[in-house]
Amino acid sequence: MGGDERGGKTSNKGLVFHENYLLHETGGHPERKERLMAILDYLGEESLLAQMELVEAREATFQEVALNHHPDYIEEVRRFCEGGGGYLDPDTVVCKDSYRAALWAVGGALAAVDAVLEGKFSSVFCAVRPPGHHALRSKAMGFCIFNNVAVAAHYARNKGVERVLIVDWDAHHGNGTQEAFYQDPSVFYFSTHQWPFYPGTGKAEERGEGPGLGYTLNCPLPPGSGDEEFFRVYDREFLPLARDYRPGLILVSAGYDGHELDPLSSLELTTRGYRGLADRVVQLAREVGASVVALLEGGYNLLTLAQSVATTIEALP
């Protein structure tokens, strides 16, 4: 991966991937390593890999994961995985190598944040797993072990970013991310998601509390909602507030299980619809002068997942 040798230029788009993400073996579980393999294969077929540069992933430290998770919980996950694994919660299965994979998933997100803050890239897509936005401070949930995007937001704040925006377009509400910043005005959390649906959080009335009041925006949508409903929410409710917020960094919880062909939701977004959401986020980034880091969350139809990731990458600056 790298630049176009004919033009002598290197793209400003980065990609995070590491083979350690495949160590998280889940058997026949919907969140399986074949998701990443399908994405990489499709990006190669569409010549998108040649337009990107690999951002070197790394393993997150215990202290970095502890920016968002209780130390006792981190240690509990380590011991459980090293003991052979099993189910951390009814939906979240792990193997002996899942703790290591989860540390590398967080570390990939942090490497991406460093890459854009240091000006090496204007955007990075993180093809990481396990996903993260359901993970609470001391509890695994919904296929998620550590909350990659939440740790990344804390990390960026510690690096001097005054205001971080998290855009979550997964079909499921990112309850773990919301919890992490519900009282924190330095991180604006915005989510569109199917309602009613797992995990049961994300009502419109959930807007933050204390100093964080007004810095959480939930836009629950009924089953059957598609491109136009999502575009309307983005254009009318989200973008005016986001422009006023003027984030220094935009993180995207990029889940693709809202696709009309995905087996895990009843939303009707199309691949074109995901491109429209990405276009809106990129336009916002240009207006406020922010970089974009997108992190993979859900998406379980392998073909539509790969196609939707590709169209997101095409939109990135």
Sequence-distant (≥ 6) Cβ neighbours of residue 298 within 8 angstroms: 31, 131, 143, 170, 171, 172, 255, 256, 257, 264
Cβ contact 251:166 at 8 Å: yes
> Which residues make Cβ contacts (< 8 Å) with residue 244, sequence separation at least 6?
none
Quick one: pLDDT at residue 244? 98
Is 281 inside a domain boundary?
yes
Question: Does 177 fall in a domain?
Answer: yes
Is the pLDDT confidence value at 311 over 70?
yes
Query: Does residue 2 lie in a domain region?
Result: no
C-alpha span between 300 and 31 (Å, rounded)? 7
Domain-embedded: residue 58: yes
DSSP-assigned beta bridge partners for residue 226: 268
- Cα–Cα distance, 241 to 264 (Å, whole number): 30
Number of domains in the chain: 1
Per residue in 112-134, pLDDT tens?
999 999 999 999 999 999 999 99
pLDDT in tens, 159-195: 999 999 999 999 999 999 999 999 999 999 999 999 9
Please check whether residue 1 lies inside any domain of the structure.
no
CA dist., res. 254 & res. 148, Å (int) = 12
In a domain, 306, yes or no: yes
Q: Which domain holds residue 85?
A: 14-315
Instruction: Identify whether 159 is part of a domain.
Output: yes
Using CA atoms, how far apart are residues 277 and 19, in angstroms rounded to an integer?
29
Decide: 188 and 215 in contact? Cβ < 8 Å: yes
Tell me the pLDDT tens digit for each residue of 231-254.
Answer: 999 999 999 999 999 999 999 999
Tens digit of each residue's pLDDT (9 = 90 or more) over 3-36: 333 233 335 899 999 999 999 999 999 999 999 9
Point out which residues pair with 293 in neighbouring strands.
124, 251
Kindly report the average pLDDT of the chain as a whole number: 96
* 23 lies in some domain: yes
Specify the pLDDT at position 198: 98
Catalytic site positions: 134
CATH number at residue 188: 3.40.800.20
